[in-house]
Amino acid sequence: MIAPAERPLRIALMIECDGPGGAEIMMLDLATELRRRGHTVLPVNLANGTGWLGERFRDAGFEPVTFTLHRAIDIGATRELTSILRSFRTDVVHSHEFTMAIYGAAAARRVGARHVITMHGGLYYANAWRRRAALRWAANRSDALVGVSLATAKALRQHLGLDESRVHVVPNGIPLRIGLRDRVRKELSIGSDEQLIVAVGNLYAVKGHAVLLDALAMLRSRAGWRLAIAGRGEEEARLRAHADAIGIADRVHLLGFRDDVADILAAADIFAMPSLSEGLPLALVEAMSFGLPIVVSRTGGVPEVVTEDVEALLVPPSDSSALADALRTLMDDPMRRHRLGDAARARARRDYGIATMADRYERLYRSERR
């Protein structure tokens, strides 16, 4: 007979956005690992999204459901979500990000399920007192509030006025993947003597891709490098125009959304993450797992993941000159590239595996509320 503490759980995983992004990919990976451990997982998101995440869940053998949110405060949406959770016989509701944190807290209480909130690093909730009050309300009616980094947890405590013991830290984890190096290099006509710099992230201003272009413009007289950015978003046209204006458009590849990120990372020689703000970026951890030498902005939870000149070179956000210097350093020093890449791979596998993350969440799902 299975002891009560070891009984498989029925877990609803909820997120408000269903487009391609780090939080969405993390939720899919977590769901897959939880199912492997014997739990039953129900993915839940809003009905008015893109459908990308729901399709990925269906491809992985899950049966996702949606509910409709007509306005910011929608009692009907709470009733609909409550009905979904009651029909699923939910033990645990795990809500990701602001909107699902609020509605998850309300609906979980109605069905008698435990509630865990994970915030991935965005500060949307902090910009208005009503959102701060709403998230504090949800946190006070939940069994655990999680930040994906120490920096994220600190911001939650400060903005919500919570005691340190009320906010947990669970770093995002990744499954180990492998990729094919030659396929993407052939697609982009990258020569064997050229260094491919890769960035992965949605094309939003906060990701700092314009800073990366400015840094590489300082290196345009140097032969032998190309840049590929995987991601889609509102900044695409502006980035294309900017690359053309600063004279590097012929060496820049904006790839749009890609499902083959493992192959793109395998094709890379250097990974760059010029973000202006981050929580704990999954793209960084995945680049580490591929053993890539990394240049990354010192922002948010990044310094918790990599140490300067041990697993990466860290530069100030928005500092294109410092970014150019760091990229030049890696281009010129193959021994340093190998040393940083080997250390990054070892740390990613030790500290940021999907199993480690799932272990921590399982403990929160079952633990008594503090």
The pLDDT score that the predictor gives to residue 28 is: 96
The pLDDT score that the predictor gives to residue 1 is: 32
The pLDDT score that the predictor gives to residue 370 is: 46
In order along the chain (370 residues), what is the average pLDDT of each group of 10 residues?
68 91 92 98 89 93 94 92 98 96 97 96 79 95 95 93 92 90 97 96 95 97 96 95 97 95 98 92 94 96 95 98 98 98 95 94 82
Tokens linked to 175: 């499954």
Asked if 52 and 20 count as a contact pair (C-beta separation under 8 A), the reply is yes
Between helices 129-140 and 150-160, what is the axis angle to 10°? 100
Which residues, 6 or more positions from 109, have their beta carbon under 8 angstroms from its beta carbon?
115, 141
The pLDDT score that the predictor gives to residue 3 is: 42
Q: Which residue has the tokens 């498989």?
A: 8
Record the pTM.
0.82
CA-CA distance, 162 to 147, in Å (whole number)?
13
The pLDDT score that the predictor gives to residue 19 is: 82
Residue ranges and CATH numbers for the domains of the chain are 4-174+353-366 (3.40.50.2000), 181-351 (3.40.50.2000)
CA-CA distance, 186 to 346, in Å (whole number)?
29
Q: What's the one-letter identity of residue 38?
A: G
The pLDDT score that the predictor gives to residue 369 is: 54
The pLDDT score that the predictor gives to residue 18 is: 84
Helix (H) or strand (E) holding 105: helix 98-111
The pLDDT score that the predictor gives to residue 128 is: 80
The pLDDT score that the predictor gives to residue 2 is: 43
